[in-house]
Homo-oligomer: A and B are copies of this chain.
Amino acid sequence: MTDLKLYSMPSSGNSYKVRLLLALLQRSFTHVALEEGSDALVRVHEEGWLPFGKLPVLELGDGTRVPESNAILCYLANGTALLPDDPVRRAHAQAWMFWEQNQHEGVIAVRASLRSYPSRAHEATPDRMADLLSRGHEILGVMEDRLQEAAWLTGDQPTVADVSLYAYTHTADSRGGYDLQRFPAIRAWLQRMTEQPGYVGLDHVPG
């Protein structure tokens, strides 16, 4: 029985996080794809039910909706090895995820967005792009330092923190224009993620 419905944006890293976690957990779900700029997404905005006005949103069997990609990850991974049962390890995983939303996403995903969407091209001034580039390399440096000492962000096993950070890091070069050659531990970690049972790429959109 499929009791989960995911509203997600195929091209968005925040949406991809949830699709990747569901694949790793081998959970079945109904997928509602709402691409940026699509008529279907415009209709959803007009209906006015989208919490915080953003995707992804997980809808449970009883119709309850859970917004915010990282909150959805913690909800779905609860009781599995991907959300550590140990309180300190769980706190460390969630610390990485709050940092992702506060620091990483607002720089690395934003630079990728400014390069990708023609509607945002006017915001991509040379000064802003240079600033986002240098700040993004600093942020990647924080991850590199950690991944030089451990295989995964919170230790020797992958958690929701790795799923969360993977989404925008694995396209930091191709979409964001960042130089991942400087970060060998990040590249090895990205490779390890692709080797996890059930792994799916950003382009794998179910349904």
Interface on A for B, CB 8 Å cutoff?
51-53, 60, 64, 66-72, 74-75, 78, 87-88, 90-92, 94-95, 97-99, 101-103, 105-106, 142
- Contact status B95-A66, CB under 8 Å: yes
Assembly stoichiometry (copies) = 2
Contacts of A60 in B (CB 8 A): 88
Contacts of A91 in B (CB 8 A): 66, 71-72, 74-75
Contacts of A106 in B (CB 8 A): 102, 106
- Contact status B94-A74, CB under 8 Å: yes
Contacts A75-B88, A88-B60; is A51 near B95 (CB within 8 Å)? Answer: yes
Task: From B78, B88, B94, B98, give the contact of A64 (CB < 8 A).
Answer: B88
Please indicate which of the listed interface residues A68, A78, A103, A142 has the most CB atoms of chain B within 10 Å of its own CB.
A68
Please indicate which of the listed interface residues A74, A91, A94 has the most CB atoms of chain B within 10 Å of its own CB.
A91
